[in-house]
Amino acid sequence: MLLIHLDRQSRTPLFRQIFGQLKSMIEENVLRPGDRLPSSRSLSEALGINRTTVTKAYEDLWAMGYTESRSGSYSMVRNRAEIVDEKKADAGKLIEWHKIANSGCGELASTLKSSGFHSQKDGEIDFIPMSPDPRLLPVEDFRKCVNQVLKKNGSSLLQYGDPLGFPPLREYLSHRMRMHGISVFPDEILITSGIQNGVDLVSRMLMAPGSKIVVENPTYSAILPLFQFHRADIVTVDQTEAGMDLDQLESVLSGEPPVLVYTVPNFQNPTGITTSQSHREKLLRLCEKYRVPLLEDGFEEEMKYFGKTVLPIKSMDQHHIVMYLGTFSKVLFPGLRIAWIAADRACIEVLAAIKKAGDLSGNMMNQAALNLFCRYGFYDLQLKRLHKVYRRRMQTALKAARAFIPRNLASFSKPLGGYCLWFELNHFRGDEPEMMDKMKSHGVLVSPGKSFFAASTDRICFRISIAHRDEKEIEEGIKRIGRALA
């Protein structure tokens, strides 16, 4: 008979006591694989307790995988392989995963390791995060929307869904983009897991090893390891104060044609530059002339605080050569992973097929909740709130930069929206790591400039993002930068 001691004074229910003791006996090999537990009837009689108490304990043992029989009256201890000794296993390793992985994988993995979450120390002012301030996110409104869609349609929203994405959300986006002069129908929109996923899909569609692609120099840093992973030949075109240098671009396009030109026309990450309507038109005409697809990253389209409206390149795209990327990550919740591509129907068809081959379906529950959130007007409300806050934060940042960072030390951009400012040092004595150390020792964290350049450069630059910082912190942080550079 098994030795089981019940403590009837204990706050632990009797069935948990039985479960716990049997579990220990199995783990400590007192009960061994193949051993039978007593029937629930006999054990309950022996212990003088209700039979259902024993049954409950036995069910939990089964559910946790300790025993085998699922239906009958007997429970048998299961055969579980022993935990492998780590050191032994390493010695006998047959496959060197890093070595057999495709070229490019190793670099990616080390990038991942180095770009881990940085930890902010007490009192430090962190200008790195580029997502909206968590303090400003309407979590509660979103929670209500999730609730509502799950209550109403949970069972169908938790099934596989339309490969293009939740139809009512695509309809909403089609309407919304029309307000920016972009005319696309809902089936010319593909919902993606963030813009990153969109760029990956486009890359999988158009790139082969060695394919030439054109990016601004500097450009959005997270895109570079992805293009490198696709083994693209990344060609850079200088980002001037007006945007991509169009003469340089034309000389690139007139050579061996690239498969893609990637551009960020609004508050470019990292330079903060917004291009003019005429620059956009010229860029589009160039791509049309050379029949090169243009990937327009409109990541912060609706976050313009100053100056007059400039319409997206896609709004002028009568020949359907532009793939437009939009996202909710910079205004709402980055963790939702909902963004979209708007492009020619034939292009969307191929991209959707690649997406489906890679993950079968998106998560409809999230997309339906976001759709409701937008339809209720919460998205517009959120935009208004962010505009109010960030217009002031940006003004504060620009004022502080003028006050605390002497012109002769550094020049900086004057963004019309978005979250980031870009500084270029004029005659800093030292290299980038030294600059970063100085910043850190003055209690301020910035993004080092080199990661935004695809080509090597001697320029010493850095980006600050005001996304997570309030006005007081912005002023103090920029003051510290001024001191660090002095």
Tell which positions 282-321 bind its own copies, by CB under 8 A. Answer: 288, 291, 293, 305, 308-309, 311, 315-316, 318-321
The residue among 386 and 485 lying less far from its own copies, judged by its C-beta, is: 386
Q: How many angstroms separate the CA atoms of 201 and 351, rounded?
A: 6
**Least gap, CB of 37 to its own copies (angstroms):** 15
Q: Determine the interface stretch with its own copies among 48-56, 268-276, 382-390, 398-406 (rule: CB under 8 A).
A: 382-390
**98 touches its own copies (CB under 8 A):** yes
Q: Which of residues 35-74 bind its own copies (CB under 8 A)?
A: 59-60, 63-66, 68, 70-71
From 31, 43, 182, 283, residue interacting with its own copies (rule: CB under 8 A): 182
Q: How many angstroms separate the CA atoms of 280 and 171, rounded?
A: 26
Q: Contact at 8 Å (CB) between 355 and 327?
A: no
Q: Which of residues 110-139 bind its own copies (CB under 8 A)?
A: 111-113, 131, 134-135, 137, 139
Q: Which of residues 259-278 bind its own copies (CB under 8 A)?
A: 259
Q: Which of residues 218-237 bind its own copies (CB under 8 A)?
A: 222, 225-226, 229
**109 touches its own copies (CB under 8 A):** yes
The residue among 273 and 467 lying less far from its own copies, judged by its C-beta, is: 467
The residue among 3 and 208 lying less far from its own copies, judged by its C-beta, is: 208
**174 touches its own copies (CB under 8 A):** no
**Least gap, CB of 25 to its own copies (angstroms):** 16
State the pairing for strand pair 125-126/444-445: parallel
Q: Which of residues 405-464 bind its own copies (CB under 8 A)?
A: none
Tokens (6 digits) for 394? 């940006």
- Give me the 362-381 binding string for its own copies, x by CB under 8 A, dash otherwise: xxxxx----------x--x-
Tokens (6 digits) for 191? 């919902």
Q: Tell me the number of residues near its own copies by CB under 8 A.
A: 121
**93 touches its own copies (CB under 8 A):** yes
The residue among 136 and 409 lying less far from its own copies, judged by its C-beta, is: 136
The residue among 77 and 125 lying less far from its own copies, judged by its C-beta, is: 77
The residue among 2 and 311 lying less far from its own copies, judged by its C-beta, is: 311
Burial pattern 378-395, b for ≥16 Cβ within 10 A else e, equals bbeebeeebbebbeebbe
**Least gap, CB of 262 to its own copies (angstroms):** 15
Q: How many angstroms separate the CA atoms of 403 and 482, rounded?
A: 9
**142 touches its own copies (CB under 8 A):** yes
**205 touches its own copies (CB under 8 A):** yes
Residue (of 390, 342, 335, 410) closest to 366 by Cα position: 335
Residue (of 224, 213, 195) closest to 340 by Cα position: 195
**Least gap, CB of 168 to its own copies (angstroms):** 16
The residue among 121 and 384 lying less far from its own copies, judged by its C-beta, is: 384
- Give me the 71-90 binding string for its own copies, x by CB under 8 A, dash otherwise: x------xxxxxxx---xx-
**Least gap, CB of 344 to its own copies (angstroms):** 6
From 2, 49, 150, 246, residue interacting with its own copies (rule: CB under 8 A): 150
Q: How many CB atoms lie within 10 A of CB 42?
A: 14
**154 touches its own copies (CB under 8 A):** yes
Q: Determine the interface stretch with its own copies among 37-45, 108-116, 406-414, 433-441 (rule: CB under 8 A).
A: 108-116
Question: Which residues have C-beta within 8 Å of that of residue 336, sequence separation ≥ 6?
Answer: 328, 329, 366, 370
From 30, 46, 346, 455, residue interacting with its own copies (rule: CB under 8 A): 346
**Least gap, CB of 216 to its own copies (angstroms):** 20
